[in-house]
Amino acid sequence: MLKILKYSFYDLMRSRWSYVYFLFYLILGFVLLFLNNDVDKAVITLMNIIIVLTPLIGTIFGVMYYYNSKEFTELLLAQPIKRSKIFMGQYLGISISLTLSLVLGLGIPFVLYGLFKSAAIFNFSLLLVVGTFLNFIFVALSYNIALSTENKIKGFGYAILMWLFLAVIYDGIFLISLVVFNSYPLDKFSLIATMFNPIDLSRILILLKLDISALLGYTGAVFRKFFGTNFGMFISMGVLVLWVLLPVLRMNLKLRKKDF
Amino acid sequence: MIEFKNLHKRFGKLVVLDGLDLEISKGGIFAILGPNGSGKTTLIKCLLGMVIPNKGDIIFDKKSVLDKWAYRNNLNYLPQIANFPPNLTVIELINMVKNLRPKDSDTEELIELFGLKSSLDKKLGNLSGGTKQKVNIVLAFMFDSDLIVLDEPTNGLDPIALIHLKEIIQKEKDKGKTILITTHIMSFVDEVADEIVFLLDGKIYFKGTIEALKKQTNNDNLEHAIANLIAKQYA
Amino acid sequence: MKYKIGLFFFFISFVVSAKQIVVCESCGIKTIKEAIKIANDGDEILIKKGVYKEQNIVINKPISLIGEKGAVIDGNNVGGILIFKTSNFTIKGLKIVNVGLSYTIEYSAIKVVRASDFIIENCIFENVFFGILIEKSKRGIIRNNIITSNRKGEASSGNGIHIWSGEEMKIYNNEMYGLRDGIYFEFVKNSAVYKNYSHNNIRYGLHFMFSNNNMYHHNEFRNNGAGVAVMYSKFTTMHHNKFRLNWGSASYGLLLKEIYDAEIYDNLFEQNTIGINAEGSTRINYKNNTFSRNGWAVKISGACYTNTFKNNDFLNNSLDLAYNSNINDNKFDNNYWSEYTGYDLDKNGIGDVPYRPVKLFSYIVNKTPEALVLLRSLFVDIINFSEKVSPVFTPDNLMDNNPLMKRIND
């Protein structure tokens, strides 16, 4: 598996898109820090971008890599390697290379800016951790979609739809149901609804450290109890781990039955 | 050496292999023929573990191959379409495949033979279809394995490369290897194959030497003999 | 005239003849009550190191009560401790602990009734019900004290410094925590509260009721139920205060209710659930304040007329402004908004496009607090944007026409 990982990783690390992605974050980091000079604001802007962009890029890279390397995968399948190892290798290769683009792209400007001396270091690291989670989650989800869809165009369409759903539509439905069922206690509902969307969950995790904690008092007690403590933080992290593990598990189950 | 026992495979409603039984003995070149959709590629992929049969068993070297992977170490495969990670160079790819298999390989000679030396440091994405196929062939023949499976090996090859390919196939056969080939080029079959396996509607319709086929159909030309074989079925 | 001179000399002799009475465990006078009994006007009672378990000590002559280091008056959790029914007194350097709890009587460490010209300084109050309770008094100075309590709940806790009906009081350099209200003013006029640190109180850091013409400045209010509440008061001046980390369901940095003609300038509101919550407040000038990382910077609800917000910094608040009524002649002008995305082509430091501080999302959260979980989600950004382009729910004339491009208090 490590060998496959290594080669997928090399392959991606040399692709133009990895560089474009890396440069994007690099420039973004520099612009935010050096033109703005407000670390708090930079972290908030970065959060907005990471929450939306990492899932999108993860999804696109995932499906693209799967379909583009289909024939090569077949060659690998004929080698004496376990199936699941080939795909886990590819999966990790993509996720790690995307994560590296993110961490280095944003890390370099922040280090140059003198982040280690800044109080924002924790928020910033949390941002990177969450971004990493989102990479791993969305590559896994898109690999699942690709594995289940033979047709490349369809697979691509489903993947983008999934992203659109989780990034925008889900929240729309969520908000509308909150407004419509205004008269009922909505604490637990919102808590659970958040857990079912990795993008929402990541957003909340970062906001907890940024500004929502000040606002939590305004919401119900369940909410405050959950998110106001480290317990909530651990649970949220745990759920994010589940969001990685479940698609990976499903991927492996699917692989057992899959014909190439 | 290889035994397919009552192999069934369906893709949705489409039945591709329908209780196929086939035994292939050690040594020799076997051409697997059949019209489009007759299940040639599926059969091969079942053997390689890429397609999982609904029913039946495949025995390779006296062991079932289903759900296994280690047996593939004794098997070389040339896929139909040569498509590689575009950002790796040829030599990196070759080294990678070497790296993946715990056995000795011989690439020098093959690289020389197909004139790939100048392309070794090029990225695979920049190679022409023919050159890619040559790389593909190198990858398939660089290991010393008992079974070699070639899926449409002549695709996109120039005449000289084709001659080299035939030479290699012959050489491997002389070493006592078992070689399975699928192809549409009948002249190629006529030239290299010892035995023909003819598939139709997911079953073995004919298995035997080329001579036997010609005799059975009263036809001296292989292409016509096969046409005859199909015609008879649908008559 | 003669009479006046006579009075003068009487006074001099009074000062000269003032004596010191020492109280200690091994002295002739062992209790404070005893000392007070024998003291004459103008005398000083020096309380030596030791714990004095006494309650209801009534002082009805103008004397000084000075504590040595380590002098503690312990009320044993029954009733009040010191009661001053005199003017011109001084109390200094004492530690007063364990005031009794009552739901009907406001027991306090020090109670002052109908007094003027007094000083309470350098005292430490621990586990009090009420700390300093002052009624109908004038010209008192309360400085350098530390007042703390550990009672739970609003009903069973009292205020640190509680003034009911007072004039020209000065309260400075005190620290108050663990109380109901750090400082409470009711019917107090012309008084000043400054350089105090009021934190971790159950209700308010500082609380004004029906108190006019007061000012408070250079105080810090941190982690209280609400930082400061100003209610039913006129002509209050608030400047250079810090309102920090006041979190909770009804938590504000500053709560304004039914107040008129106030000046609020150079304050810092940082990380409060709501920076300023204004209800029925009229003719208020907000100037040069910094609102940083609050849930809401400002929330205006109901009948606020003629308020102006000028030259304030709004930095990284989750929501800048919530508004649930008409715009009512309130003005926003020349403020800096970190959320502002406009441009300044003519380089005059003022954005060329007006800024709308009220977002649709803020409106939704007002109605459905749980919607807060969707803060900063892409969907919310999209609806905010569409609302910005064509306002439907939010008042469309509420905007800052001259948003600044740079911070004021950088």
Whether chains B and C touch (3+ CB pairs under 8 A) is answered by no
In the block, tokens 């910077």 appear at C297
C-alpha distances in angstroms, A231 versus A234, A246, A259?
5, 22, 44
More confident: B210 or A128: A128
The reported pLDDT for the residue numbered A91 is 93
Question: Which of A64, A259, A260 is best to mutate for the B interface (most B CBs within 10 A)?
Answer: A259
Q: CA of B119, closest CA in chain A: separation in Å?
A: 18
Whether the per-residue pLDDT at B102 is higher than 90: the answer is no
Chain B neighbors of A150, CB-CB under 8 A: none
Q: Looking at mean pLDDT, say which of B94-98, B214-218, C57-61, C321-325 comes out highest.
A: C57-61
Burial of A160 (0-12, 13-18, 19+ CB in 10 A): middle
Mean pLDDT for C191-196 is 96
Q: CA of B53, closest CA in chain A: separation in Å?
A: 9
Mean pLDDT for A203-210 is 81
Q: Can you read off the two tokens belonging to residue A62?
A: 């995932």
Mean pLDDT for C19-47 is 90
CATH no. of B2-234: 3.40.50.300
Can you name the residues that pair with B148 across neighbouring β-strands? Answer: B76, B179
Mean pLDDT for C395-407 is 87
The reported pLDDT for the residue numbered B199 is 85
Q: Looking at mean pLDDT, say which of C156-165, C243-252, C364-373 comes out highest.
A: C156-165
Q: Looking at mean pLDDT, say which of A151-160, A174-183, B45-54 comes out highest.
A: A151-160
The reported pLDDT for the residue numbered A214 is 62
- The order of strands in the sheet holding B14-24 is B14-24, B2-11, B55-60, B63-64
Distance CA(B94)–CA(C202), nearest Å, equals 73
Q: Which of C114-118, C385-389, C403-407 has the lowest mean pLDDT?
A: C385-389
Q: Looking at mean pLDDT, say which of A157-161, A206-210, B114-118 comes out highest.
A: A157-161
User: Tell me, what CATH number does C81's domain have?
Assistant: 2.160.20
Chain C neighbors of A189, CB-CB under 8 A: 370
Mean pLDDT for B133-141 is 88
The reported pLDDT for the residue numbered C193 is 96
The reported pLDDT for the residue numbered C188 is 96
Interface of B with A in 18-47 (CB under 8 A): 45
Sign of CA dihedral A167, A173, A179, A181: negative
Q: CA of A11, closest CA in chain B: separation in Å?
A: 5
ipTM of this complex: 0.86
Structural domain count, chain C: 1
The reported pLDDT for the residue numbered B4 is 87
More confident: B163 or B1: B163
Chain C neighbors of A167, CB-CB under 8 A: 378
Q: Taking CA atoms, what residue in A is nearest to B65?
A: A80
The reported pLDDT for the residue numbered A211 is 61
3-state secondary structure of C82: strand
Write phi, then psi, for C93 (nearest 5 degrees).
Answer: 70, 15
Contact, A56 vs A163, CB < 8 A?
yes
The reported pLDDT for the residue numbered B15 is 86
Residue range A80-106, pLDDT digits in tens:
888 888 899 999 999 999 999 999 999
Q: Domains of chain B: which residue ranges?
A: 2-234
Whether the per-residue pLDDT at B215 is higher than 70: the answer is yes
- How would DSSP label each residue in C240-295? S-EEE---STT-EEEEEES-EEEEEES-EEES-SEEEEEES-EEEEEES-EEES-S
Chain C neighbors of A217, CB-CB under 8 A: 247-251, 273, 295
Residue range C276-288, pLDDT digits in tens:
999 999 999 999 9
Mean pLDDT for C90-96 is 94
Q: Can you read off the two tokens belonging to residue A252?
A: 């492996």
Q: Considering the domain boundaries, does residue C378 fall inside one?
A: yes
CA nearest C340: which of C349, C328, C327? Answer: C349
Residue range B81-101, pLDDT digits in tens:
777 877 778 888 888 888 888
Which subunits sit against A, judged by 3+ Cβ pairs under 8 A? B, C
The reported pLDDT for the residue numbered A213 is 63
Facing B83 at nearest CB: one of A72, A77, A81 = A72
Whether the per-residue pLDDT at C8 is higher than 60: the answer is no
Determine the length of chain C: 410
Whether the per-residue pLDDT at A252 is higher than 70: the answer is yes
Average pLDDT, chain A: 86
Whether the per-residue pLDDT at B136 is higher than 60: the answer is yes
More confident: A220 or C84: C84
Q: Looking at mean pLDDT, say which of B98-112, B200-214, C147-161, C185-199 comes out highest.
A: C185-199
What Rg, from alpha-carbon coordinates, does chain C have?
26
Instruction: Please indicate if any CB of chain A lies within 8 Å of the CB of B91.
Output: no
Chain A neighbors of B101, CB-CB under 8 A: 79-80
Q: Considering the domain boundaries, does residue C6 fall inside one?
A: no
Please count the CA atoms within 13 angstroms of the CA of B94 that sit on its side-chain side: 27
Q: Can you read off the two tokens belonging to residue B101?
A: 């298999």
- The order of strands in the sheet holding B147-151 is B75-78, B147-151, B178-182, B28-33, B195-200, B203-209
Q: Can you read off the two tokens belonging to residue A27?
A: 């420039």
In the block, tokens 């990858």 appear at B139
Q: Which range of residues forms the domain containing residue C70?
A: 49-389
